[in-house]
Amino acid sequence: MEYTANQDRYDKMQYRRCGKSGLLLPMLSLGLWHNFGTDSSFENMKQMCFTAFDNGITHFDLANNYGPEPGSAESNFGRIVKENFAGYRDELIISTKAGYTMWDGPYGDWGSRKYMLASLDQSLRRMGLDYVDIFYHHRMDPNTPLEESMMALDTAVKSGKALYAGISNYDGPHMIKAVEILNELKCPFVINQNRYSIFDRTVEKNGLKEAVGREGNQKGLIVFSPLAQGLLTDKYLHGVPADSRIKTDGRFLKADALTPQRLEQISKLNDLAAQRGQTLAQMALSWLFKDSSVTSVLIGASRPQQILENIRMMENITFTQEELQQIDVISGNK
Task: Tell me: does residue 132 bind ligand NDP (CB under 6 A).
Answer: no
Residue 160 or 293 having the CB closest to ligand NDP: 293
Q: Which residues contact 38 (CB under 8 A, 6 or more apart)?
A: 67, 68, 69, 72
- In the complex, least distance from residue 271 CB atom to ligand NDP, rounded to whole angstroms: 17
User: How many CB atoms lie under 10 A from the CB of residue 328?
Assistant: 13
Q: Which of 25, 27, 28, 32 binds ligand NDP (CB under 6 A)?
A: 32
Closest to ligand NDP by CB, 2 vs 44, is 44
Is residue 222 within 8 A of residue 297, CB to CB? The reply is: yes
59 touching ligand NDP, by CB under 6 A: no
Residue 4 or 310 having the CB closest to ligand NDP: 310
Q: What are the distances in angstroms from CA 275 to CA 280, 281, 282, 322?
A: 10, 14, 12, 13
Closer to ligand NDP by CB, 158 or 285: give it.
285
Question: Measured from the CB atom, is 138 or 174 closer to ligand NDP?
Answer: 138
For residue 5, the minimal CB distance to ligand NDP (Å) is 21
Bridging pattern class, strands 15-17 and 24-26? antiparallel
DSSP assignment string, 87-114 = GGGGG-EEEEEE-S--SSSTTSSTT-HH
286 binds ligand NDP (CB under 6 A): no
- CA–CA separation, 122 and 78 (whole Å): 12
Site for ligand NDP in 222-261 (CB under 6 A): 224-230, 233, 235, 244-245, 248
Of 32-40, 175-183, 198-206, 263-271, which segment contacts ligand NDP by CB under 6 A? 32-40
Contact (CB, 8 A) for 195 and 202:
yes
CA 146 vs. chain centroid, Å, equals 23
Query: Where does this chain bind ligand NDP (CB under 6 A)?
Result: 31-34, 61, 138, 168-169, 193, 224-230, 233, 235, 244-245, 248, 281, 298-302, 306, 309-310
